[in-house]
Amino acid sequence: MNLPEDFKKKYTRLLGQEATDFFNSFETVHQKGYRVNPLKANPVPHETPNDGKVPYGQWGYFGAVDGHSKDHVTGVVYSQEPSAQFVGEVAAPKPGEKVLDLAAAPGGKSTHLAAFMMQKGLLWSNEIFMSRAKILSENIERMGVKNAIVSSQTPAELSARLPLFFDKILLDAPCSGEGMFRKDPDAMTYWHSDYPAENAKRQREILHETVKMLRPGGELIYSTCTFAPEEDEQMIAWLLDTYPEFELLPIDKPINSGISDGRPEWADSDFVSGVTTTSQTQNRSELLKTARLWPHRLNGEGHFVAKLVKRAKVVEPIETVIKKLKPAELNRDQQQLIDDFWKSTFQQFDIENRQFLLFGDRLFLAPEVTPDLNGLKILRPGLEIGSFKKNRFEPAHALALAVSPSQVKQQFNLVDQDWADYAHGDVISTDEPLSKGWILMVVNGNGAGWGKFVNGQIKNFLPKGLRFAVRV
């Protein structure tokens, strides 16, 4: 791999004898990985190879995911680079918490957080760029996440609306991407010697807004996919110096995982740039609590992770004025349609503490403790239930991916040719004794979409944009 010359000079100086192994790692094939999704009724892959367990975390495996496999289509697996999986494991939110993933696209880390939360609490997944936010929303849907809000806002817009709101915030910061050079060589075309410093400036701006949204006692997880000290140790040192209420927490680095401590000496910018030969920060031992993932030390790409807690400045509780969500008021006809749908389609469906929300004719179940969303660019305000059509209610694809087959009154198991027909968008003929109405189409014990049974045929309601020809 033809690495930039300034990149090689920099890390030859910083890594010393270790530099040879580091550079040699770029000539090896990057390791692919995936996570199994515990939110599914049957979270067991059937077609995805198991090339071994990732040495940290409970759901991670090595192996390549086929984007048209049943495992992928039904959200049983999420393709995610092994090192990136460590970030979610460090965050490890608890069910019931309010969690923000501030720069969340394409969704690997958000769906990992959702796995820990087990559909309880509020997961707010944000992506500033709308095109990427749409991909994020699609992945949240595919994985069957019920308690997520997906937005497309700037950090400043969110911090103005949600001060001191979240229990936990993950900032997987936009960065110089050095850790992805092997996986994505095109990332090298953007790199130049000042690129890490340019990214660090933007990261400080984002962190300035991020800290405003974290409650006292809450945790901030900061991560990058770069080796650059300017964006890693130097960023954490700056954060601790600028916001003294923050304190680093230790990160568990499992034995034999290959995960390394952070490098305190690299918090000195003059030392990193080569202006001086002795670091003035080598005694900042708290930076050893951060984690570095190096491609020459483990099966994965480059990552950096830090975990911090925001200590309370005052003893008394801080009151913030955050408007609560106003639930939708369904008219009589809408209420009748949704009541009929529940009764005819489901054996059980627990709304719990969630509230109905209408976006036009689309009905959602908003997560508990959802604040007022008025004026925000929201792509997904919770679980989409379906849409009100003329004199009928049509269930959403998201609902099929989020419910268990045991919850519905009628299901149809898709095997072999039936699966190929359904994935292609075709009508399925069947002799099964089904009743007229909505059918959950099931693959390997998990919902794959909806069908509607009429006169011996199941009409296909798989969204047109998700249809494909199954390879035989």
Q: How far is CA 420 from CA 120, 410, 415, 417, 449, in A?
A: 35, 20, 8, 5, 13
Task: Please tell me whether residue 122 adopts helix, strand or coil conformation.
Answer: strand
Task: Please tell me whether residue 192 adopts helix, strand or coil conformation.
Answer: coil
**From start to end of 302-391, where are the E strands?**
303-310, 355-359, 362-366, 378-381, 383-389
**CA gap 48, 73 in Å, rounded:** 12
Task: Please tell me whether residue 18 adopts helix, strand or coil conformation.
Answer: helix
Identify whether the C-beta of residue 71 lies closer than 8 Å to the C-beta of residue 65. yes
Residue tagged active-site, from 214, 225, 373, 402: 225
Q: How many CB atoms lie within 10 A of CB 165?
A: 22
Nearest CA to 3 out of 255, 209, 295 is that of 295
Identify whether the C-beta of residue 192 lies closer than 8 Å to the C-beta of residue 198. no
Phi, psi angles (nearest 5°) of residue 399? -65, -40
Catalytic (active site) residue 225: yes
Q: How many CB atoms lie within 10 A of CB 283?
A: 10
**From start to end of 15-130, where are the E strands?**
33-36, 60-62, 77-79, 98-101, 122-126
Say whether the peptide bond before residue 433 is cis (omega within 30 degrees of 0): no
Could you tell me how many helices (H) and strands (E) the chain has, helices first? 13, 22
Identify whether the C-beta of residue 87 lies closer than 8 Å to the C-beta of residue 54. no
Residues annotated as catalytic are: 225
